[in-house]
Structure 1
Amino acid sequence: MFDAMLQRFVHMFEIVAAEGHGSLWMVLFIGFVFGAIIQWSRVDKFEKIAGFAMLEDMTVPKMLFFAIGFASIFLYFLIEIGMAHYHVKPVMLGGLVIGAVLFGIAMAIFGKCPGTGPISVAEGRIDVLVGAIGGIFGGLFFTWAYPWLEPIMGPDYGELTLPQFFEGQEHLVVLVYGLALIAVAFALPNIEYLDPEDHEEKVEI
């Protein structure tokens, strides 16, 4: 059993290595830029995620809607000219629903997501480090238990993308979709959650 699990891990890394994500320097550069943007926008802070979960802080959704809308447009056209490529995962309804519920609960409790967590670890946050270690072991458990979990992952609808449903109008659909998300980002109210300490600091000022 251990040998079979080890082979799955090795195969997983072989798949990732063969995808050709660019040079190591390019990956590092993108990582540094991503980290800088996250820290500048402060969405790696617990109060931002917690405030979002309570609908008392719109910083995270505004950033997400804008980033997804902007990236959707430009990534699609980069793919069209051959400078990028998709790696679409299959739509497995059971796994998506269960995973979304677990992810949402954990994100609300932990106050971090897989993108902001490593940045907080780099800042020296011990609580986030403990959570990151837990996430690694959770991934190991999922990989080990996948043969037993697979039956509840379906139904599998295959690798679906939005433009597939609008054959002949793909460019227009992507453009409208991206601009709509950007519009939502600007339409969301500029409200920011402040914890009790922040309130006290503002009163003193």
Structure 2
Amino acid sequence: MAWTGLLVGLVFGIILQRGRVCFNSAFRDVLLFKDNYLWKLGFLAVGLQMITVLFVAQMGWIRIAPPTLNLFGNIVGAYVFGLGMVLAGGCASGVTYRSGEGMTTAMIAAVFYGIGAMAMRG
């Protein structure tokens, strides 16, 4: 299982780095440069995720349970998430490939992404 994760992570990292994929940049490019290449790529990625999750759930490999809606928490979380993207200089995918390229600020942001992920697990 570890080898599968390593292989998928390596392929995913190469795709992110070669394609310069960052969802923060996708929004920026549409608004500032009228370039919708990354925007289309984002929609393709979300569509593939939807199909894959549905397939995996239908196969019984995962169970999808809708969480209860916490409107205040969602609003505050969206604001903090957006602020974090601005401070980090990109989204998680952008920070991931930039830290792999050796960008120091992206490495610092990646450490804090990890801390945030651990804090969410309890």
> What's the TM-score once normalised by structure 2's chain length?
0.72
> Are the equivalent residues in 2 in contact too, given 1:120–1:128 (CA < 8 A)?
yes
User: Is 2:71 aligned against 1:93?
Assistant: yes
Mapping 1:65-76, distance limit 5 Å: 65-76=43-54
Provide the aligned length of Structure 1 versus Structure 2: 117
Question: Structure 2 CA distance, aligned partners of 1:27 and 1:87?
Answer: 22
4+ residue segments displaced more than 6 Å: none
Q: 1:58 to 1:104 in 2, by over 3 A?
A: farther
Aligned counterparts, 1:5-154, within 5 A: 23-44=1-22, 49-50=24-25, 52-53=27-28, 55-56=31-32, 57-82=35-60, 84-86=61-63, 88=65, 90=67, 91-137=69-115, 139=116
Segments of 5+ residues of structure 1 without an aligned counterpart are 1-22, 147-205
Q: Percent identity, aligned pairs only?
A: 29
Q: Report the Cα distance in structure 2 between the residues aligned to 1:110 and 1:50, rounded to whole angstroms.
A: 12
Q: How big is the shift at 1:126?
A: 0.7
Tell me the C-alpha RMSD between the 2 structures.
Answer: 2.9
Which ranges of structure 2 fall in alignment gaps of 5 or more residues? none
Q: Amino acid of the residue matched to residue 63 of structure 1?
A: L
Bigger helix share: 2
Supply the distance in 2 between the matched residues of 1:114 and 1:64 (Cα, whole angstroms). 13
CA-CA distance at 1:135 after TM superposition: 3.7
Q: Which has the larger radius of gyration?
A: 1
Q: 1:181 corresponds to which residue?
A: none
Distance 1:89 1:124 in 2: 39
The amino acid that maps onto 1:32 is: L
